[in-house]
Amino acid sequence: MAVIVVGEDMTVARTHPLAGVWSADAARLAAAQPGAAIAPFAELSRDPGRPDLDLWDMWHLTEADGSTVFDGGRSWWFFLATPRFPDPEARHDHARIRLL
């Protein structure tokens, strides 16, 4: 389910049939709950899968209704990808969408 946060003026930027609507106050309260933060990954725990590429900002292939596409039990994911650069900021000028 997508979550749409409603602004202080109660406006919603976009709607989706599967979206839940949260008030700005509810979103602030959710962030303070135990377990709301994701623990950082240790450098040694990273498994790049493709050591020649930096991969980030992934999303799955979805149907028009927002549900995940499965083909033979497999879902398909898109990533932003670039060759590895010494300075991670350099990757943005070279990013391409890859299907992995």
Where in the chain are the domains?
Answer: 1-35, 46-99
pLDDT at 1: 43
Q: 2-24, pLDDT tens digit by residue? A: 445 555 555 555 555 555 666 77
* Dihedral over Cα of 92, 96, 99, 100: its sign: negative
Q: Rounded to whole angstroms, what are the CA distances from 75 to 29, 39, 61?
A: 33, 25, 7
Closest CA to 59 of 80, 87, 38, 78: 78
The answer, as to whether pTM is greater than 0.85, is no
Confidence of residue 91 (pLDDT cuts 50, 70, 90): confident
Alpha helices in the chain (DSSP H): 24-31
Residue type, 15: T
- Do residues 38 and 55 lie in contact, with contact meaning Cβ atoms separated by under 8 Å? no
Q: 27-80, pLDDT tens digit by residue? A: 777 777 777 676 665 665 555 577 788 888 888 888 888 888 888 888 888 888
